[in-house]
Amino acid sequence: MKVVPKTEEVRLDPTTKTLDRSKAENEINQPDKNALEMALQLKQKHGGDVVLLSMGPPFFEPYLRLGIAMGADDAILLSDRAFAGADTYPTSYTIATAVKKIGHFDLVMCGEESSDASTGQVPPGIAEWLGIPQVTYVSRIDIAGSTARAKRTIKGGYEVVEAPLPLLASIELGCNSPRFPDFRRKRWAEKEFKLTVWTSAELGVDPNKIGLKGSHTVVDELIELPKPFRKRERITGSSEEEALQVIHRIKEALSA
């Protein structure tokens, strides 16, 4: 699970050329919510526990508690200054190390991508570190015994992939409707639930493979794409007149 700033509210500071998230409200990355909802549905059907795992600073905590309120059984936050500045390589490594530490698991589920960097690279990376099969862009999972069938969105349609558990699945945004937190559980999640926090020492990660140090890519600079010039002309009149003007502009555009 990742906590991200609301996309529309992030600005690029023109002088420092760094991201200004200060005015942006945070939220659980939307596809992660779809992943959690799918996990909860699978739990309802097959039993088992749903554990939330997140790598981030302490302010992630209330969002993990929200996930618990939705129905997850446990939540672990991987939080350490040493994790900061990570690109997708150390991020997937850190999370995979935590999965190994948790021990037995059947499914690792992730949102297909995060709405900030939108790389979608962490889920396949985790699967590679764990040496397990992966299915990405999944809209549905059915389990029979120790085999999963995942419906995967591909160009022009879908495919169904059969794979043995344990499996990593990245879940498509919008494939289900994430449930609202249960009111009473929410109070318990906020006040009583004991959230686990693991530092890099507790996790036992290789210090050269985490955070900024473990990153292979660097960001040179950030550019705000200039808004393309648009005429912003209003077409007015009766609906009939508007329709004729629109058609005129279409023809004009096509002959340009």
Rounded alpha-carbon distances, angstroms, from residue 138 to 38, 42, 56, 116, 184: 10, 14, 25, 20, 31
Size of the site for other proteins (CB under 8 A): 85
Among 29, 79, 136, 200, binds other proteins (CB under 8 A): 136
Q: Among residues 71 and 111, whose Cβ is nearest to other proteins?
A: 111
For residue 174, the minimal CB distance to other proteins (Å) is: 3
CB 242 within 8 A of CB 236: yes
Q: Among residues 83 and 129, whose Cβ is nearest to other proteins?
A: 129
Q: Among residues 24 and 195, whose Cβ is nearest to other proteins?
A: 24
Subset of residues 198 to 237 that bind other proteins, contact rule: CB under 8 A: 208, 213-225, 227-228, 230-235
Subset of residues 24 to 83 that bind other proteins, contact rule: CB under 8 A: none
Token pair 């995942």 is found at: 150
Among 160, 188, 199, 204, binds other proteins (CB under 8 A): 160
CB 88 within 8 A of CB 110: no
CB 151 within 8 A of CB 160: yes
Q: Among residues 192 and 255, whose Cβ is nearest to other proteins?
A: 255
Among 73, 142, 159, 202, binds other proteins (CB under 8 A): 159
Binding mask 86-125 for other proteins (x = CB under 8 A): -xxx--xx-------------------x-xxxxxxxxxxx
Contacts of 190 (CB under 8 A, 6+ apart): 62, 65, 69
For residue 59, the minimal CB distance to other proteins (Å) is: 18
119 phi and psi, to 5 degrees?
-75, -35
Q: DSSP of 106-132, one letter per residue?
A: SEEEEESS-TTT----HHHHHHHHHT-
**Among candidate residues 160, 133, 127, the one with its CA nearest the CA of residue 146:** 133
Among 102, 173, 195, 197, binds other proteins (CB under 8 A): 173
Subset of residues 174 to 193 that bind other proteins, contact rule: CB under 8 A: 174-175
Q: Among residues 201 and 235, whose Cβ is nearest to other proteins?
A: 235
Q: Among residues 67 and 111, whose Cβ is nearest to other proteins?
A: 111
Does residue 61 sit in helix, strand or coil? helix
Question: Is residue 144 at the binding interface for other proteins, with CB under 8 A as the rule?
Answer: no
Distance from C-alpha of 189 to C-alpha of 196, rounded to nearest angstrom: 13
